[in-house]
A and B are shown apart, each in its own frame.
Chain A
Amino acid sequence: MLPVLVALGLVFGYSFVEVVRYSFYAGSVGQLTYVGTSNYKELFADPQFTHSMFNNFKLLATVPIVTGASLALALIINTTFRGVRHYRAIVFLPYILPATAMGLSFSYLLQGNGVIDSLLHSLHLSFLIHDWLGSPSWVIFSIGGVIVWQQFGFGVVVFSAALLSVPGETVEAARIDGASWWVVQRRILIPQIRRIIEFFVILQAIIVLSSVFTYVYVLTGGGPAYSSSVMEFFIYQNGFENGSIGIASAAAVVLLLIASVFIAFYIWVRIRATKQAA
C-alpha cells in the first residue's frame, strides 16, 4: 500500500498543491513573486486562452459523432457472419496506434492539395476542397476528424461487447411478436446498454478536454497563428516556450476545474451503476 500512496502523493498530491500555488505567482522558478489573482484576470483577458478553451468545447462535437457512428456500426454487426471478427479487429487498430505517428500521416493527407483534396477532385467533389490544416476556420474540425478516426473503433468494440451481454431471449421474444429490426434496436438493445453509452460519452468528453495535445502539436503546432490551440497546448506553450509559469499554472487550474465537473459526473454515474447492480 505504501508505495502506491507515495506515487500518488508525489505525482498527484504534490502537483495539485503546487500548481494552485504557482497560479498566484509570477516570474520564473526561484524568483517567484506573489501577484494574487492577476494571472487569472490576465488569462481571461487573453484572446488566445479563451480561443483555446472554445476549441476544446468545439471538439466536444466529436463526442456525439463518435458515439452515434460507432453505436450504429456495433448494432449493424451485432450478428454472426463471416469475417465479423476481422472487421472489428481492423476498425479497432487506429485506437492503439500512436497519435504522433498517425498525426504525421494525416498532416500529409490533409494538407492543401494533399491526398484528400486530390481524392475529392477525382470524385468530382471539387467544391469540398480545402486547405484543411491551413484555414483558421476549418482547422479545429480537421483535428476533430482525426480524433473521430482514432476513437471510432474504440466505441465499436465497447458497444459490441455490451451488446453481446444482452440476453438473447428478450430480443427473440420481441421478434416473435413481430417487432421490426429498428424497433428491436431502439426499444430493447439501446436501453439495455444505456449505462455503457453514458460511460463512453463521459470518457470521450474527458478525452477531448484533456488529452488532445498530441494531435494539435503534430498536425498544426497550434496554427495558423493560434487558431487550433487548445488548453493543453496553451499550457505547454506558456509554461515551456514562454516561461510564464504563473499563467500556465492558472490555465492548468482552470482546466482542472472544468475536468472535475466531468469527473464528478463520471463518478456519479459509476456509483449509480454499482448501486443498481447490487
Chain B
Amino acid sequence: MGPHSRDEAGRLMQHTRNILRQLLLIVISIISLYPVWFMLSTALKSSKYYTLDPTGFPYHVTLSNFSAVFHNWPILTWMRNSLIVTIVAVGVSTVISIMAAFAIVFGKGRGRESLFRSNIALMAIPPVALLIPMYTLMVTLGLINQLPSVMIFYTGLLVPFSVFFFVNFFREIPMELVEAAYMDGAPHRRILRKIIVPLSGASTITLVIVNAIFVWNELLVALVFLQSNTSRTLMAGLALYQGRYVTNEPLLMAAAFFSILPLVVLYIFGQRFFVRGLTAGIGK
C-alpha cells in the first residue's frame, strides 16, 4: 500500500465518520422535536381522525380544536393572568436585584460577601418547602385566588438567582469606572442609573428571559394559590382541564400548543439570550 492509498483510506474513514455523526444528530433531533410535533399534529386533527390514526400526518387539517379552546375555555383569561404575573414578578425582582447586586459589588457595607454566599444557597432551595407557610400567610392576608399571592412568592424565588447573575456581571465591570464617579461626588443612584444600567442592557434581557420562562412555566405554586377559574394561570388551568378533557386528545393538545407557542416564538428570535442566561448558573 503506497502513501497515496493510505490517504484515500483516511479520507474515506473521515467521510464515514461525518455521515454517522449526521445520522446520530438527525435521530436525536427527531427525538427532541417529536413530542412537540405530536402536540401540533394532534391539535390539527378531529377527534375521530385522531382515534383512527393517532400518529399519522394530519392530511385533513382542522382548526376547530383551536377555536373550541378559545370559545369554551377561559384560556384568554388564563393567558392574561400568566402574562401579568410574569411581567410584575420579573420586573420587580429584576429591579430590586440589580440594586442589591450593585451594593454587593460596589458598596462599602459589611457582610456583603456572606450575603452573596447565602444567596447562592437560596438559589437551590426547593420551593415546595416554602409552600405551606406561604400559603397560610396568603390566607391571612386574604390573597388566595388573587394574582398578588403568586407575584410575591415568585418575586422572592427569583431574587437569589437574579442577584447572583448581576453580581457576576458587575464584577466584570472595571472598578475604576465606578471609583471615578464616586470621586466626582455622584450619588449611588446616579452611578447606578448613568453607568451601570446602560452597560447591563444585554445581560438584563438575558436575565429577564430566564426568569420569565420560570414564571410562565411554574405549576405547583399557581395550582395551590390560584383555585378560582378566573384567577388561574395558563399552566394551572391546563393542568386542571387535563382531568376534565383527558379523552379529547386533540382539544387538550391545542390548548397545550397555545401554552408553548410564545416560548417557541421567543426562542426562535432570541436564542442566544436563552442559552446564555440558562447556562449562567453553571461555572463561576
The interface of chain A, by Cβ under 8 A from chain B, is 1, 3-5, 7-8, 10-12, 14-19, 22, 29, 73, 76-77, 81, 83, 87, 89-102, 104-106, 108-109, 114-115, 118-119, 149, 152-154, 157-158, 161-162, 195-196, 199-200, 203, 206, 209-211, 213-214, 217-218, 231-232, 235-236, 239-240, 245, 248-249, 252-253, 255-256, 259-260, 262-263, 266-267, 270, 273-274
Whether A232 pairs with B128 at a CB distance below 8 angstroms is yes
Which residue of chain A has the shortest Cβ distance to B121 in the bound complex? A263
Q: Which of B21, B38, B119, B131 contacts A108 (CB 8 A)?
A: B38
Whether A101 pairs with B238 at a CB distance below 8 angstroms is yes
Whether A14 pairs with B137 at a CB distance below 8 angstroms is yes
Q: How far is the CA of A8 from the CA of B239 in the complex (A)?
A: 29
The interface of chain B, by Cβ under 8 A from chain A, is 18, 21, 24-25, 28-29, 31-33, 35-36, 38-39, 42, 54-55, 93, 96-97, 99-100, 103, 107, 109, 117, 119-122, 124-137, 139, 152-153, 155-157, 159-160, 163, 213, 216-217, 219-220, 223-224, 235, 238-239, 242, 249, 252-253, 256-257, 259-260, 263-264, 267, 271, 274-275, 278-279, 281-284
Whether A102 pairs with B35 at a CB distance below 8 angstroms is yes
Which residue of chain B has the shortest Cβ distance to A72 in the bound complex? B24
Whether B32 pairs with A94 at a CB distance below 8 angstroms is yes
What does DSSP make chain B's interface, helix, strand, loop or mixed?
Answer: helix
In the bound complex, residues from chain B placing their C-beta under 8 Å from that of A211 are 126-127
In the bound complex, residues from chain A placing their C-beta under 8 Å from that of B29 are 87, 90-91
- 28 cross-chain CB contacts under 8 A: A4-B163, A7-B96, A7-B155, A8-B156, A8-B160, A16-B130, A17-B133, A22-B132, A76-B24, A90-B29, A92-B275, A93-B264, A96-B278, A97-B260, A98-B259, A100-B235, A100-B239, A102-B256, A104-B238, A104-B256, A108-B38, A199-B283, A203-B282, A210-B125, A236-B131, A236-B223, A249-B132, A267-B120
Which of A93, A104, A162, A260: most chain B Cβ within 10 A? Answer: A104
Whether A73 pairs with B283 at a CB distance below 8 angstroms is no
> B94: shortest Cβ distance to chain A, in Å?
11
In the bound complex, residues from chain B placing their C-beta under 8 Å from that of A267 are 117, 120-121
Which residue of chain B has the shortest Cβ distance to A118 in the bound complex? B55
Which residue of chain B has the shortest Cβ distance to A92 in the bound complex? B275
> A145: shortest Cβ distance to chain B, in Å?
11
